[in-house]
Chains A and B, each alone.
Chain A
Amino acid sequence: MLETIWFMLWGVLWAAYFMLDGFDLGIGTLMPFLARSDEDKRYMYNAMGPFWDGNEVWLITAGGATFAAFPTAYAIMFNGLYSALLLLLFSLIARGVTFEFRNKVEGDGWRSLWDIFHFLGSFLPALLLGVAFANIFAGIPIDKDGIFHGGLFTLLNPYGILGGILFVLMFLTHGALWLAVKTQGDLHARAIETAKKTWAAQVIVAVIFLGATWIKTDLFDNYFKYPYLIIIPLLGVGALIIMRTFIKSGTEVRAWITSSIHIVGVALFGVAGLYPRLLPSSMNPDYNVTIWNAASSQLTLKIMLGVALVMVPIVIAYQTWVYLFLGHKLSKNDLEYEEAY
């Protein structure tokens, strides 16, 4: 029972990370294509300014929760995906420093350097997270001792790459919509136009991905076994369709919220399909890492559940407050503010 609750929490933490940092990664990836001036770039940095660091903690918590609740899965996943995870880590480090570094020295060369770091540090995590999760959905080559037989390129199979592209597109739309929430005028209009285009691409890739998931994975089995779970993908698909109406009518806050629901839906669709597996083995189903063979002791799960039930609502409360308090549209004044990025 506790194992199942922790499995759900595990899924929710990853979904929350994708939903929150997803828009940061999306804006960072869009930057070289969307920004026409240094001012545009500064609007983009400041649109993420007060939020990105708090968003990234959801990744640390998702990793920490994996470690705490399913230490065996944590050990096998992080060991097996060594190169991919370190690449993700370096990318996130590269992105993280740019906010503080970029405006500390005058000069185009200096700023371009950090803009490149920022782009790579946004695009690569989006891609890698998608590749990693698609591979987990399909199963990774782990043997009975949990040893991973492969390397970075094992993960770059067609289905993995498709997952990567889907994540990048999801985050691009999500980022464009958050940028629209935070800006006005010309940049706002371009953000909306971008969202329309990436949305269309996202729909196409999502359909292909669903089809490939049907062929390549057994995620759907759980939806036949527990039909009520179908609500999750339905919510995801519904949000994706409704999003388009909101983008078109220029109600970007609603569009961003539906995009959030969509991302959560996609993540939970995969996670629910995995249950009770955390890391399916593509070598033999007997080698699957499941919540039963990877979980912590009952005592640890109980204590951690207590911590999560108290702390997560508090975190959600103050982070929501921050979004409401600082979610306003940026103006020239905000860029002139002396502590602005």
Chain B
Amino acid sequence: MDVVMLSRLQFAAASMFHFLFVPLTLGLSVLTAIYETMYVRSGDKDYKRAAKFWGKLFLINFALGVVTGITLEFQFGTNWSAYSKYVGDIFGPLLAIEATLAFYLESTFIGVWIFTWDRVKPKTHALFIWLVAIASNISALWILIANGWMQRPVGYVLRNGRAELENFIAVITNKFGIYEFFHTVSGAYILGGFFVMGISAWHLLRRNEIRFFKKSFRLAATFTLIFALFEIFNGHLHGSEVAEAQPAKLAAMESLWVTEQSAPMYLFAIPDEENEKNSVELLPIPGMLSLLAHHSPDAVVKGLKEFPKEERPPVVLTFISFRIMVGLGFLFGLIAILAWIKRNRIENAQGLLKILVYMIPLPYIAIETGWMVAEVGRQPWIVYGLMKTRDAASVLTTSQVWISLTAFVVFYSFLGLIDFYLLAKYARKGPEAIK
């Protein structure tokens, strides 16, 4: 393997690992803030216990999320220095703004929140976790604007041998980034919601702290339902934006080889990259792909053969990842509706409770596969249409990257296992009694 491939693997490992923790940070910070606000408003001690219990899980998760985030900023320079040089004029500021607007706020007030339960009025204390939650979400906005620019570069001009900023407003209002933001953040809220519902279900099945976990559950059920439904809608919008901005990615997502008017969607297909066709195509819905991608059942959808071979993304990986994500997205909608309907007597819905426990890992899979679609589907480009990934890497030796890649995998796996163990341990332990 060459330096580019190794660096890609390292970036994939580092960012996918990082993204095991980010969505729960986004989702659980908001839920914890809502629980604490409910406590401030109602004085109900169960909500204070909820803020503390879910807050503790939030912190165990946050510990790894925050430290593995630094890696991502460093890696643009360490492994993708040609990229950093070429587009740093636009990409660098977005990362720097993320740090000044979001990271300081998040990292400063998380410490304040931890250490001031007994030092400030409940209202003020709730404000601290809201600042953390808001900061996390601002951070998501800026990093996704940055990623959105890699997907659909706008507001730049090629000058002095690099891409230079020409229109800052165009960059920060890039609709690709905005769609990605809503799509990612909703996904993170769904993940947070299923996390709370799943752990609550585990305790309810054991008849443990029924009153407490019902309260946690009810709120999470409503929260999850809102975002699970919104996600289906905005996922569709995001998909049609991909169809406009990155037709090759869309063709790979659907494994569409030949350009077609009124293109159908096959509920089941097996792509065959070598022979540039699908070896199996079953259950077509006529005109569906045209409708979804371009809002009209008669629209023309570009097939992969429109693009030279070296400008097509890996089809199988993109296609399968997309199918898994979409399938899970609909499943989340369905389960969220059931959970919401049953939310007031959830302790009696044994079957649903069992399902909910097993739902916990699924949003993680959906989010990771979603990122595979976004990043693998963009290949061979690092910045779509502007810079190829193979031109973006640093000057390094393969042994340097082999060593660092191995170190990442070993070290991260170790920390990941510890974190998972601690999350499970404290999730099972249940809430503390209020002194």
Q: Quick one: given A53-B110, A300-B165, A315-B100, are A79 and B74 in contact (CB under 8 Å)?
A: no
Q: Which chain A residues (253-312) contact chain B, with CB distance < 8 Å?
A: 296-297, 299-300, 303-304, 307-308, 311-312
Q: Quick one: given A93-B67, A97-B67, A326-B112, are A338 and B104 in contact (CB under 8 Å)?
A: no
Contacts of B66 in A (CB 8 A): 53, 96
A228 lies within 8 A of chain B by Cβ: no
Decide if B426 touches A72 in the complex (CB within 8 Å): no
B118 lies within 8 A of chain A by Cβ: yes
B284 lies within 8 A of chain A by Cβ: no
Q: Is the interface of A mostly helix, strand, loop or mixed?
A: helix
Q: Which chain B residues (42-92) contact chain A, with CB distance < 8 Å?
A: 59-60, 62-64, 66-71, 73-74, 76-78, 81-82, 84-85, 88-92
Residue in contact with B89 in the complex, picked from A64, A93, A296, CB distance below 8 Å: A296
A71 lies within 8 A of chain B by Cβ: yes
Decide if A299 touches B81 in the complex (CB within 8 Å): no
Q: How far is the CA of A56 from the CA of B110 in the complex (A)?
A: 13
Q: How far is the CA of A49 from the CA of B108 in the complex (A)?
A: 11
Query: Residue on B with the closest CB to A62?
Result: B99
A92 lies within 8 A of chain B by Cβ: yes
Contacts of B233 in A (CB 8 A): none
The interface bits of chain A over 70-103 (1 if a CB of B lies within 8 angstroms of the residue's CB, else 0) are: 0110111111001101100110110011011100
Query: Residue on A with the closest CB to B101?
Result: A311
Decide if B84 touches A75 in the complex (CB within 8 Å): yes
Decide if A90 touches B407 in the complex (CB within 8 Å): yes
Contacts of B88 in A (CB 8 A): 67-68, 71-72, 74-75, 296
A61 lies within 8 A of chain B by Cβ: yes
Residue in contact with B84 in the complex, picked from A54, A74, A92, A311, CB distance below 8 Å: A74
Contacts of A318 in B (CB 8 A): 104-105, 108
A57 lies within 8 A of chain B by Cβ: yes
A60 lies within 8 A of chain B by Cβ: yes
A215 lies within 8 A of chain B by Cβ: no
Q: How far is the CA of A85 from the CA of B70 in the complex (A)?
A: 11
Decide if A104 touches B60 in the complex (CB within 8 Å): yes
Decide if A60 touches B67 in the complex (CB within 8 Å): no
B420 lies within 8 A of chain A by Cβ: no
B330 lies within 8 A of chain A by Cβ: no
What bracket does the count of chain B residues touching chain A fall in?
Answer: 35 or more
Decide if A75 touches B77 in the complex (CB within 8 Å): yes
A250 lies within 8 A of chain B by Cβ: no
Contacts of B9 in A (CB 8 A): none
The interface bits of chain A over 125-149 (1 if a CB of B lies within 8 angstroms of the residue's CB, else 0) are: 0000000000000000000000110
Of B314-322, B369-377, B394-402, the segment with at least 4 beta carbons within 8 Å of chain A is B394-402
B5 lies within 8 A of chain A by Cβ: no
Decide if A104 touches B77 in the complex (CB within 8 Å): no
Query: Residue on A with the closest CB to B162?
Result: A71
Decide if A51 touches B74 in the complex (CB within 8 Å): no
Within the complex, what minimum Cβ distance (angstroms) separates A182 from chain B? 12
Q: Is the interface of B mostly helix, strand, loop or mixed?
A: helix
Contacts of A299 in B (CB 8 A): 164-166, 168
Decide if A71 touches B84 in the complex (CB within 8 Å): yes
Residue in contact with A50 in the complex, picked from B68, B115, B425, CB distance below 8 Å: B115
Q: How far is the CA of A311 from the CA of B142 in the complex (A)?
A: 15
What bracket does the count of chain A residues touching chain B fall in?
Answer: 35 or more
B111 lies within 8 A of chain A by Cβ: yes
A319 lies within 8 A of chain B by Cβ: yes
Residue in contact with A61 in the complex, picked from B69, B99, B407, CB distance below 8 Å: B99
Within the complex, what minimum Cβ distance (angstroms) separates B382 from chain A? 14
Residue in contact with B422 in the complex, picked from A101, A304, A315, CB distance below 8 Å: A101
Q: How far is the CA of A113 from the CA of B18 in the complex (A)?
A: 23
Within the complex, what minimum Cβ distance (angstroms) separates B303 from chain A? 38
A339 lies within 8 A of chain B by Cβ: yes
Decide if A68 touches B114 in the complex (CB within 8 Å): no
B117 lies within 8 A of chain A by Cβ: yes
Q: Which chain B residues (105-142) contact chain A, with CB distance < 8 Å?
A: 105, 107-108, 110-112, 114-118
Query: Residue on B with the closest CB to A58?
Result: B104
Contacts of B394 in A (CB 8 A): 75, 78-79, 82
Q: Quick one: given A71-B85, A86-B404, A299-B165, are A93 and B411 in contact (CB under 8 Å)?
A: yes
Decide if A104 touches B108 in the complex (CB within 8 Å): no
Contacts of A78 in B (CB 8 A): 74, 76-78, 81, 84, 394
Query: Residue on A with the closest CB to B423?
Result: A104
A residues contacting B by CB (< 8 A) are 49-54, 56-57, 59-61, 63-65, 67-69, 71-72, 74-79, 82-83, 85-86, 89-90, 92-93, 96-97, 99-101, 104-105, 147-148, 296-297, 299-300, 303-304, 307-308, 311-312, 315, 318-319, 322, 325-326, 337-340
B residues contacting A by CB (< 8 A) are 59-60, 62-64, 66-71, 73-74, 76-78, 81-82, 84-85, 88-93, 95-101, 103-105, 107-108, 110-112, 114-118, 159-160, 164-166, 168, 394-396, 400, 404, 407, 411, 415, 418-419, 422, 425-426, 432, 435
Given contacts A79-B395, A93-B411, A299-B164, 17 further A-B contacts (CB under 8 A): A53-B108, A53-B111, A54-B108, A63-B73, A67-B84, A71-B88, A78-B74, A79-B81, A82-B78, A82-B396, A83-B400, A89-B74, A93-B70, A100-B59, A148-B395, A300-B92, A300-B164
The contact sample of 5 A-B pairs, CB cut-off 8 A, is A61-B100, A65-B96, A67-B95, A319-B104, A339-B114
Nearest 7 CB-CB pairs, A to B? A71-B88, A78-B77, A50-B111, A67-B92, A100-B63, A64-B96, A96-B67
